[in-house]
């Protein structure tokens, strides 16, 4: 009887994993191809409008209106954030940086689809960076810093050696907020994993962890707002396939194993048009076919190398064990405002 019960239970678990993989896969593909379809239709519509414009009578713009547009385009503060104004005495009006969560994306990805419901389009001072969808919290914090300041992402010598990836990553030719310092701090808003990414970034600023930037400090952060932030870890990762025993490794048969194989093939194929729409954030592991080759793909699939083999990706960072360890190291600072918005069913709770 016990054996029969075990067989039934294992069968149900097997079916659950398969169904979950299909549902999540269909949702992701639907979102991905919807973005491509919207872009294609927008391009077609724009082409049609241009064709109609060629045979339309020319309407001259009012001179005063043209002058207003010229004045508006010239009225910037040098970093593309519009007229700065003043928020508090001695501080320029700070920008707001929106940091997405796991499987999220920024304003440069998935076409016109917005992770933030279009919030980043309401004001030039709202920035929505695209960080690695599955890269670790530490790696995303590094990417966020260089997104704002510009330059080549530096993950650090010791960390790159420990986790088996390149020290340097993507290069931002132009920083999105070059004036960022203690006199020009930033409001950060993080959803889900993004909240913890911001906290790690602030502590790295306080520890002057970025090579070549000796003047960083926690004062660079005006406020941190957590939207359903995973600040204490989540039990969801265990349900998806992270082992509860250690909070790092994956079970042999789980939803995450299906996802791991898909991600490795996606990164290995390195199709430009696909990467333009969505990126998992593992370029610093050199998983592409022209760098890794066939044997490199085999090694990653056998879990001998790559981010999953080294457990240097976001899901282990969301385990209860890792959150407890990380929170012992992270500090809060008197010069920063901290807010939390936690959603429980249909009620929102705000804490400061």
Q: Do both 196 and 343 map to the same domain?
A: yes
Q: Do both 101 and 223 map to the same domain?
A: yes
Asked if the structure places residue 112 within a domain, the reply is: yes
- Total domains in the chain come to 2
User: Are 86 and 92 within 8 A, CB to CB?
Assistant: yes
* 184/321 Cα distance (integer angstroms): 36
Q: Do both 103 and 225 map to the same domain?
A: yes
Asked if the structure places residue 328 within a domain, the reply is: yes
> Worst-scoring range by mean pLDDT, 84-98, 170-184, 281-295?
84-98
Chain segment 254-278, per-residue pLDDT in tens: 999 999 999 999 999 999 999 999 9
Report percent pLDDT > 70 for the chain: 84
Asked if the structure places residue 119 within a domain, the reply is: yes
Chain segment 185-242, per-residue pLDDT in tens: 999 999 999 999 999 999 999 999 999 999 999 999 999 999 999 999 999 999 999 9
Rg over CA atoms, the chain: 23
Q: Do both 135 and 229 map to the same domain?
A: yes
> Worst-scoring range by mean pLDDT, 8-22, 29-43, 133-147, 309-323?
8-22
Asked if the structure places residue 305 within a domain, the reply is: no
How confident is the model at residue 162, as a pLDDT?
Answer: 95
Average pLDDT over all residues of the chain? 86
The whole domain housing 328 covers: 94-234+316-351
Q: Do both 189 and 320 map to the same domain?
A: yes
Q: Do both 179 and 33 map to the same domain?
A: no
User: Are 105 and 135 within 8 A, CB to CB?
Assistant: no
Q: Do both 45 and 143 map to the same domain?
A: no
Asked if the structure places residue 143 within a domain, the reply is: yes
How confident is the model at residue 220, as a pLDDT?
Answer: 98
Asked if the structure places residue 211 within a domain, the reply is: yes
Give the residue among 243, 241, 245 at the shortest CA–CA distance from 261. 241
Chain segment 8-35, per-residue pLDDT in tens: 776 777 787 788 888 888 988 888 888 8
How sure is the predictor about 347, in pLDDT bands with cuts at 50, 70 and 90? low
Asked if the structure places residue 166 within a domain, the reply is: yes
Q: Do both 186 and 37 map to the same domain?
A: no
- With 70 as the cut, is the pLDDT of residue 174 above it? yes
Q: Can you tell me the mean pLDDT for 294-300?
A: 97
How sure is the predictor about 78, in pLDDT bands with cuts at 50, 70 and 90? very low
How confident is the model at residue 346, as a pLDDT?
Answer: 56
How sure is the predictor about 80, in pLDDT bands with cuts at 50, 70 and 90? very low
Q: Do both 224 and 129 map to the same domain?
A: yes
Between CA 10 and CA 15, with CA 14 as vertex, the angle to 5 degrees is: 120
- With 90 as the cut, is the pLDDT of residue 73 above it? no
Q: Do both 115 and 197 map to the same domain?
A: yes
């Amino acid at each position: 009887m016990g054996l029969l019960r075990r067989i039934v239970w294992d069968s149900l678990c097997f079916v659950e994993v398969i169904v979950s993989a299909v549902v999540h896969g269909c949702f992701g593909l639907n979102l991905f191809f919807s973005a491509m379809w919207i872009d294609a239709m927008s391009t077609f519509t724009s082409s049609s409008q241009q064709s109609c414009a060629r045979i339309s009578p020319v309407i001259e713009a009012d001179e005063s209106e043209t002058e207003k547009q010229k004045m508006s385009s010239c009225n910037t503060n040098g970093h593309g954030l519009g007229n700065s104004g003043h928020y508090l005495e001695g501080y320029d009006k700070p920008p707001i940086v929106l940091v997405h969560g796991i499987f999220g994306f920024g304003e440069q990805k998935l076409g016109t689809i917005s992770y933030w419901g279009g919030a980043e389009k309401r004001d030039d001072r709202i920035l929505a960076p695209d960080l690695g969808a599955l890269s670790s919290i530490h790696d995303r914090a590094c990417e966020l810093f260089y997104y704002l300041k510009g330059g080549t992402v530096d993950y650090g010598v010791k960390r790159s050696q420990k986790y088996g990836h390149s020290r340097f990553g993507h290069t931002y030719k132009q920083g999105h907020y070059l004036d960022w310092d203690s006199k020009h701090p930033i409001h950060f808003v993080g959803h889900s994993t993004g909240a913890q990414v911001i906290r790690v970034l602030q502590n790295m600023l306080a520890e002057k962890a970025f090579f070549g930037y000796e003047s960083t400090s926690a004062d660079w952060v005006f406020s941190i707002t957590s939207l359903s932030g995973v600040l204490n870890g989540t039990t969801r990762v265990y349900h998806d396939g992270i082992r509860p025993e250690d909070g790092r490794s994956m079970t042999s048969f789980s939803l995450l194993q299906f996802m791991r194989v898909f991600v490795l093939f996606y990164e290995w194929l390195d199709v430009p048009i696909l990467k333009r729409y969505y990126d998992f954030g593992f370029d610093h592991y050199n998983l592409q076919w022209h760098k890794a080759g066939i044997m490199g793909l085999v090694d990653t699939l056998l879990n001998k190398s790559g981010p999953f083999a080294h457990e240097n990706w976001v899901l282990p960072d969301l385990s209860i064990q890792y959150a407890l360890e990380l929170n012992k190291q992270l500090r809060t600072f008197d010069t920063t405002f901290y807010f939390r918005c936690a959603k429980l069913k249909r009620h929102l709770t705000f804490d400061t």
